[in-house]
Amino acid sequence: MSFLKVLALAAVAALPLSAFATGGHDAVGCVGCHAIHTAKGEIIFAVNANKQVVNPKTKQPYSGTTALCLGCHEESSKGGQGYAPIAGHISHPYGLAQVDAKIAKVPGELLREGGRFECLGCHDPHPSNPYYKYLRVDTAKGSKMDAFCAVCHPIKADVATVAERAVLFTSMDETGNRVLAPKSAAKEQKAPAAAPADGSAPKAAPAKKKK
Ligand code: HEC
Ligand code: HEC
Ligand code: HEC
Ligand code: HEC
């Protein structure tokens, strides 16, 4: 057995629930996040919400879907399961009840429950998301990060980047397609044309998820 295979098996064994595929949330699988029988609340989640970590902005524990992500993506000493702990990659604010309009202009479709800004504002965690780190836009594997930042901070980004209008990915409408056209920009955006109604990936997106 190859060293890589041993590593992969070790990673799978470390998961709380059955996981057969490899890589990110492919390995977690639908039932790693959603439980059919023993759900813990919202969107029939399979993990306990993390109520231990305090949001430095609000001084309250995180709630909603953010607390669910943190149920896995936080150190075990902080109520998580230690998978790619959030502190290791981001100091950007998240888990906010509302957004200060002077700081960010978040497309309404990326907010939750009456204006909350969660992890889901930047990530669509479903295995169908073809983009780098499950981000909402194609960043060419992280090399074009300005296009991503420009989604919510357009006045900070250079004009050419904003004009490109990054296509937003969503997996949340089974009757629609995988493109999220912000209502604010719906008139100008060519999203519907770029997105086949059969639910296949938008033309702007790579057909297969790249690891
Ligand atoms: C990493 C965790 C994760 C995995 C893996 C995952 N989901 Fe989800 N799922 C979520 C989150 C978070 C939401 C809420 C997303 C939102 O509001 O944008 C959600 C929402 C949904 C919804 C919509 C529920 C509603 O009320 O509208 C369905 C259906 C769903 N998931 C099915 C699946 C299926 C099927 C799979 C496997 C192919 C899967 N999920 C894998 C986290 C996950
Ligand atoms: C059941 C546990 C679990 C939950 C809940 C969960 N994740 Fe994950 N996630 C994982 C695992 C395991 C990995 C792979 C970690 C690694 O490779 O070290 C991962 C990887 C990721 C990655 C990196 C993907 C890549 O390509 O490298 C992102 C981004 C991510 N998760 C975001 C989220 C977000 C956002 C949520 C909440 C909606 C969430 N996760 C909820 C277990 C989970
Ligand atoms: C402002 C946007 C933003 C928010 C909010 C956000 N992330 Fe991320 N996340 C990113 C970006 C950008 C990356 C890729 C960083 C890189 O690799 O350059 C990333 C990467 C990740 C990774 C992969 C880390 C790794 O080591 O590969 C995980 C896991 C993750 N995010 C989970 C989360 C969770 C959980 C939340 C909420 C608690 C969250 N993110 C909130 C932008 C965001
Ligand atoms: C999906 C929307 C979204 C994306 C994408 C996004 N941000 Fe933000 N950003 C926000 C929100 C929301 C806030 C907090 C606003 C508030 O305080 O109410 C914020 C705040 C900030 C702040 C101020 C931090 C502070 O502590 O006050 C900086 C700096 C920032 N973002 C930089 C970035 C960078 C760099 C990127 C790209 C890597 C990025 N953002 C991507 C939504 C976003």
Q: Is 134 in the pocket of ligand 2 (CB under 6 A)?
A: yes
Place of tokens 């390995």: 27
What does the pLDDT look like over 12-63, one tens digit per residue?
444 443 333 345 899 899 988 987 766 555 666 788 889 899 998 889 999 8
Query: What pLDDT score does 64 carry?
Result: 86
Q: What is the DSSP string of 28-97?
A: H-HHHHB-SSS--SGGGBSS----SPBPTTTSSB--HHHHHHHTTSS-GGGTS--SS-GGGT--S---BS
Query: What pLDDT score does 41 carry?
Result: 58
Which numbered atom of ligand 1 lies nearest the CA of 68? 12
Can you read off the two tokens belonging to residue 84? 């790619």
The residue nearest atom 7 of ligand 4, judged by CA position, is 152
Residue 88 CB neighbours (<10 A): 8
Residue 114 CB neighbours (<10 A): 7
Average pLDDT value for residue range 71-83: 93
Determine the residue type at 210.
K
Please say whether the dihedral angle defined by the alpha carbons of residues 138, 175, 189 and 103, taken in this order, is positive or negative: negative
What does the pLDDT look like over 91-138, one tens digit per residue?
899 999 999 999 999 999 999 988 999 999 999 999 999 999 999 999
Ligand 3 mean position to 86 CA, how many Å? 7
Cα–Cα distance for residue pair 194/165, rounded to 1 Å:
13
Ligand 4 mean position to 44 CA, how many Å? 29
Cα–Cα distance for residue pair 75/77, rounded to 1 Å:
5
- From the CA atom positions of the chain, what is the Rg in Å? 18
Cα–Cα distance for residue pair 168/49, rounded to 1 Å:
27
What does the pLDDT look like over 189-209, one tens digit per residue?
344 444 444 444 444 444 444
pLDDT band at residue 85 using 50, 70 and 90 as cut-offs: very high
Q: Answer yes or no: are the C-beta atoms of 55 and 63 closer than 8 Å.
A: no
**Threshold 0.85, pTM exceeds:** yes
Element of type H or E holding 152? helix 145-152
Q: Answer yes or no: are the C-beta atoms of 121 and 111 closer than 8 Å.
A: yes
Element of type H or E holding 160? helix 159-164
Pocket test for ligand 4, best of 119, 153, 184 (most atoms within 8 A of CB): 153
* DSSP H helix total and E strand total for the chain: 7, 2
pLDDT band at residue 181 using 50, 70 and 90 as cut-offs: low
| Backbone φ, ψ for residue 57 (5° rounding) | -75, -40
